[in-house]
Every structure is written in C-alpha cells, then in structure tokens.
Amino acid sequence: MRRIYLDANATTPLLPEVLEAMRPFFLEQFGNASSIHQEGQHARWAVEQARASVARFLGCRPAEIVFTSGGTESDNLAIFGSVKPGDHVITTAIEHHAVLHAVEKLRDRAVDVDFLPVNGQGLVAVGDIRKALRPNTRLISVMMANNETGVLQPVGEIGRIAAEAKVRFHVDAVQAAGKLPLEVDAIGCHLLTISGHKMHAPQGTGVLFVRRGTRLEPLFAGGAHERQRRAGTENVAGIVGLGKAAECAMEGLRSGVPERIRALRDRLERGLLERVSEAGVNGGQAPRVPNTTNLWFDHLEGEALVIALDLKGLAGSSGAACASGASEPSHVLEAMGVPAQRARASLRLSLQKQTTDEEIDQALLLVTAQVARLRELSVDGNGYRKSVPAVAR
C-alpha cells in the first residue's frame, strides 16, 4: 500500500537535493566551522554559503541570520532575548506553544502579557494590537500562518503599528516559509522565526532573523558562535541542508508550486464538502497558506478519524493537541469560538510539494468513506446509534 502523507505542517521529508548537499558534511568534510585548519575553513565556507542563501530567501543581510536548533529555539531566543522584568508583551491566543508557553513563563519574571483574541475566522484585529500598546510594551509577537488552520495574520499592518510605536516585532513564520514569499522588510519585523523541517530541511534546524541593531540576550552561555547570539558548535550539515532547502523553496515559489498546491487543496476541500454533510472548514473564509485545510465533520471524534485514515494509508492530523495522553480540544479552535465538540471533530490535512493529483483523488475517497463509517458507529448519549447521513450526494 502506497501511503499518502497529508501532514506537512507536522514535518516534511528532505528533498533529495537537500540530502545530497548535506552528505559530504557528515563524511569527508566533517570539520568544525570554528577551526582554523582546512577542514574547519571548508565547513565555515559552507555555513556562510547557506547563510547567504537563507538571507536571499528572507530578503535580508547574511549577518542578520542566526542558525538555531529549530523553530522552538528561535521563538524562545526572540522572546527571552528581548524582554526584562517590568516589560509588557503583546501576543495572541493562537500562537504555537513555542511562543505561548515561553510568554507564560515571562509572567514569573514580572512581565505582563496580553493574549489578544481572534475572531471566528482565526484573525486578530489590528485595532486590538494598537489598543493593547502601553508605554512599557517591549515586544509584539504574532505568528504569520497558523499551524492548525493555515490562517494568515495581517503581519504587514502589525509591523507598521509596531514601527510607529517603536516596539520590537517578532513573527513566527514557521508555517509560512516556503509556502508564500517572505520579505522581512515588507513585514517590518525585527525578529522572524523559521524551522528547517517544515520546508524540506532536516529536523533540528532553524533560523532566527535578527534585524541589524536589535540587541538580544543569548539563551545559552558558551562560545562566541553566530556573532555571540547563539553559543554552540554549528550543525554544519543541517545548516547546509537548510540553505539548500531555502534555494529550493525560492525556485518553487518562482515556478508556481504554491499555486499548484492551492489548486489541489481547494479541490480536496470542495470535494469533501460536496460529499459529506454536516461538515465545514475552520478559518475557511480567511486568507490562508495554500497547503492547509482544517475541516470539521460533526458526530465523530477527529482522533478516531485520524487513526482510521492512518490504518487505510493516509497520514493526517486531528484538531486535538494530544499532550500527556489526554486529548484536549485545540487552543486555536477554542480561541476561534469553535464549540469543544466540533473542535474535537476536526481534521487537519496539509499538503506538500510532492502531493499528487492521484493522492488527492484517493484522499477524497478515503476521508468520505471513513467519516461515513465512524458516524455509523457513533452512538448518542442514550446508547442509541445515530443515523447521521454522512454522504450528501
């Protein structure tokens, strides 16, 4: 059975050219980029080439790129590196836990945090950002694309407000990178996070863009790597992979990959809504990244659907974040006002560059059939079987 992978927002496979670019740095070119001998200098050269590629990808200077171990570290560096006791931080209720849990910790450090709400489509109101500003506001942190719904926040407008107010602006762009053009100057941010493994580079690689003149307190004590912003021997092979993935992403953006993925996503979404009754799309009216759809199908458990689909060869993800074994309804859907039961009945499908037409045909059949089967199995509170028509046409 050939599996269908529709969980690109969780992680993506390496592109073959990324693996090829990395290979020598595990074997014959294994030097430490801080060493002065030839092995070291070769590694240094490769890291700087990758830095230049990522800088082109983000429209910034190479010196503004800091390589990290991933999106979580970059978010933490942006937040903990910016804020001191007595400061105020503005963020949203729908951030990834890498931001949410980091800013929650700030509260123990005498930092006030405002978590702004979103509307039913998952969008933050720009006016709310303006209203939340205080004289001691140090940082605004708003994600570009949500990992669960794909909804895009108006980061350019928020950047203009931050500039007027002279407040530092961090953007978690992990789920936007490679899916649409990213320009740090158009966004107007001081800090921007990307993660390698969401864009066909290896897991455990990431970047924090740090605008020139933006002072950051490093997270780690250690060597003077990354211009004293991130101590620790560089992950040379991983960085080379990230540089290559950035080049591939630029090529993909030029050659219309996002448009192709959007057409596939839209066909999948439309097809499911035509075939399945009592279903909808969370955030479907908002601007979204092209690869993501978050659908709800009433009268079933999203997790059961994910498991049923997995057994049939399709990898997707449920709207429930399953931490410590207990599945909690997603904080993102909850913030959007989606009732808990419907949030639990949600399925996220996220496409990648390799997704084909045939896979979408197959996914349409599989999801329709499994929703129907689970609904038939579902029983109501009195123990009676529900007779919910799963297939509308």
The span from the CA of 161 to the CA of 124, in Å, is 14
The span from the CA of 381 to the CA of 385, in Å, is 9
**β partners of residue 137:** 88
To ligand PLP, the closest distance from the beta carbon of 368 in angstroms equals: 28
208 vs 236, which CB is nearer to ligand PLP? 208
The pair of structure tokens assigned to 34 is 């801080």
User: Which range binds ligand PLP by CB under 6 A, 68-76, 102-110, 268-276, 345-353?
Assistant: 68-76
To ligand PLP, the closest distance from the beta carbon of 85 in angstroms equals: 25
* Binding status of residue 92 toward ligand PLP by CB under 6 A: no
With left for phi above 0 and alpha for psi between -120 and 50, is residue 165 left, alpha or beta?
A: alpha
To ligand PLP, the closest distance from the beta carbon of 248 in angstroms equals: 18
Tokens 């009754």, residue located: 277
* Binding status of residue 143 toward ligand PLP by CB under 6 A: yes
100 vs 364, which CB is nearer to ligand PLP? 100
To ligand PLP, the closest distance from the beta carbon of 266 in angstroms equals: 22
Burial state string for 240-255 with b = 16 or more CB within 10 A and e = fewer than 16 = bbbbbbbbbbbebbee
Residues between 168 and 197 with contacts to ligand PLP, criterion CB under 6 A:
172, 174-175, 195, 197
User: Which range binds ligand PLP by CB under 6 A, 64-72, 77-85, 263-271, 278-286?
Assistant: 64-72
Burial class (CB in 10 A: 0-12, 13-18, 19+), 350: buried
Tokens 């993660």, residue located: 195
User: Which range binds ligand PLP by CB under 6 A, 69-77, 252-260, 285-293, 327-335?
Assistant: 69-77
Among 12, 53, 72, 291, binds ligand PLP (CB under 6 A): 72
* Binding status of residue 7 toward ligand PLP by CB under 6 A: no
Among 147, 235, 292, 293, binds ligand PLP (CB under 6 A): 147
194 vs 300, which CB is nearer to ligand PLP? 194
* Binding status of residue 98 toward ligand PLP by CB under 6 A: yes
The pair of structure tokens assigned to 337 is 């006002």
CB 149 within 8 A of CB 283: yes
The span from the CA of 186 to the CA of 273, in Å, is 35
The span from the CA of 76 to the CA of 67, in Å, is 13
To ligand PLP, the closest distance from the beta carbon of 176 in angstroms equals: 9
**What amino acid is encoded at 301 in this protein?**
E
DSSP secondary structure letter of residue 63:
G
To ligand PLP, the closest distance from the beta carbon of 241 in angstroms equals: 13
**Which residue number has the CB closest to ligand PLP?**
71
**Integer CA distances (angstroms), 278 to 248, 273, 281, 356, in order:** 40, 9, 11, 27
Q: Which of 60, 189, 248, 322 is catalytic?
A: 322
* Binding status of residue 100 toward ligand PLP by CB under 6 A: no
7 vs 301, which CB is nearer to ligand PLP? 7
To ligand PLP, the closest distance from the beta carbon of 147 in angstroms equals: 3
137 vs 193, which CB is nearer to ligand PLP? 193
DSSP secondary structure letter of residue 291:
T
Phi, psi of 323 (to 5 degrees): -110, 145
Pseudo-torsion of CA 19, 22, 24, 27, nearest 10°? -90
To ligand PLP, the closest distance from the beta carbon of 203 in angstroms equals: 7
DSSP secondary structure letter of residue 140:
E
Residues between 192 and 251 with contacts to ligand PLP, criterion CB under 6 A:
195, 197, 206
* Binding status of residue 352 toward ligand PLP by CB under 6 A: no
151 vs 388, which CB is nearer to ligand PLP? 151
**What amino acid is encoded at 36 in this protein?**
I
287 vs 313, which CB is nearer to ligand PLP? 287
* Binding status of residue 70 toward ligand PLP by CB under 6 A: yes
- Whether 322 is a known active-site residue: answer yes
CB 317 within 8 A of CB 9: yes
CB 230 within 8 A of CB 219: yes
Active site residues: 322
The residues that touch ligand PLP, with contacts defined as CB under 6 A, are 70-72, 75, 96, 98, 143, 147, 172, 174-175, 195, 197, 206
